[in-house]
Structure 1
């Protein structure tokens, strides 16, 4: 039996999380955490609520780590393999339809393959927002970099297009760049921010083939 340091109740060892530990005096042994499982969950939930930015930062570090990549790949593969994803799709057709409708709003990219390739080269095959590479994007999200509208309801040509990873593409959505990038994106970089502005205001002109202009 063991006493929880939070609720002060004496509970069975099975009610506590444990891990293998090692020390010079004890050698290898089983270490039981000082809080019971229920209190640990409550403590964790409270910390996440009180520290949203630190939680996001911690999640990002895990996602880009080798362990995180492997977990993301394995979990996604098993989720699809055991039929859970298919079952969810069948039960949520209306949600999927609504989601796809929202995703297609202001999301048409009228650029050529050559223009897209030049855009990727300009940003060195990295997400314009967080800097994750094309290869890492495939490893982590099982997707290549997306064509992203910098201005949500702006032009559909190269002047408003940058490469973005799945995470940044979803997070930014229709938010204004200035409001979103500094506040919500944990990988804010002044250098990348200035490069995005230079691209959509000046440098895209060197690579655009058939500019699409709105009627005056």
Structure 2
């Protein structure tokens, strides 16, 4: 192992994050796994990777919005979704799949309907937001940053 990037501290291998220069345990709890590196771990620690991703997202939010629009990920994209669904119907691939997999489709619909109903009180929602420190549970952005990124469309 490379001396500059790895060293043993208290009988455990530690890896140096190239961004924050801190020595962290060389495990998947501290670093994301990457196949291309010899040790199988990313060069940046998880905290630095998330920080870089957040900075990149805020810096390039116009490009991010455009990509999301292309992929139909933003709310209000019904027109694009209709176009996508109509192309599926033209090819009839969806209909063919549904005919072949009637039982599977029925199970999917039952599962979806079972998970649709979420009865949550205002107190429970506030506790949930407090638990995640008023940040997104998925990407870690603050609510204000989501408002900037999505131009005012976020759940309060």
In our comparison, the structure showing a higher alpha carbon Rg is: 1
**Shorter-chain TM-score above 0.5:** no
TM-score by length of 2: 0.36
Q: Which has the higher contact order (CA 8 A, sep 6+)?
A: 1
Normalized per residue, which structure has more helix? 1
